[in-house]
Amino acid sequence: MTEIRVLAELDHIRKRPGMYIGDTKNPTHLIKEVLDNALDELLNAYADTIIINYDDQGNVSISDNGRGFPVHELTLPDGKKEDSVIAAVCRLFSGAKFDDNTYNISKGTHGVGLSAVNALSKSMNITIKDRENKHKVHYYEFNNGELINHVIGETPNVIEFSTQLQFSVDSQYFETVKFDTET
């Protein structure tokens, strides 16, 4: 009989989603996790527009026109290098809000939100306008929590948003994929 187990970070979220998002009756909390990041940009006067689209099949798109999700190489505690976006959505306790240097006001600070959204979604796509070059775009595509595509490209037109995160809820973790619009 095995008593002690070690799970991969996203697997832990999948086995115990309630520990990370609370109620699993519906996936409304997943919208809140992504929206909190956009609201941080808005509350700190980096953005003035947030657009949310969703449907009754559990598909969501949230965009803001803030500074853009920070894209850079970072060093993990074990010394390995990793892309900041991949770390933020695939590793627990990854984020930019652990000190007072990023925001004066911040909705989320625990470094769990985007990892939980990724873990509990069938697919997740993130499109980010580069902070330095407004024609450069970073695109990340995840299926079942795993990175399947990362493209850095150029666009002839300036896109209207800085960060757009789209996800499709995985119904196996929720009683319904319909969002609570009252919330």
Q: What is the structure's pLDDT at 155? A: 85
| Residue closest to 12 by CA, chosen among 173, 181, 143, 124 | 173
Which tokens hold the place of 147? 């990175």
Q: What is the structure's pLDDT at 167? A: 98
CB-CB neighbours of 98 under 10 Å: 13
Predicted structure pTM score: 0.88
**Cβ atoms of residues 118 and 14 within 8 Å:** no
The span from the CA of 179 to the CA of 177, in Å, is 6
Q: 79 in the Ramachandran plot: left (φ > 0), alpha (ψ -120 to 50) or beta?
A: left
Which tokens hold the place of 116? 């939980």
- With helix as H, strand as E and coil as C, how does 1-57 read? CCCCCCCCHHHHHHHCHHHHHCCCCCCHHHHHHHHHHHHHHHHCCCCCCEEEEECCC
3-state secondary structure of 115: helix
Which tokens hold the place of 112? 């769990």
Q: What are 18-74's pLDDT values in tens digits?
A: 988 988 999 999 999 999 999 999 999 999 999 999 999 999 999 999 999 999 999
Q: HSE-up of 166 (CA within 13 Å, CB side)?
A: 12
Q: What is the structure's pLDDT at 108? A: 57
Q: What are 79-113's pLDDT values in tens digits?
A: 999 999 999 999 875 655 545 555 455 555 555 78
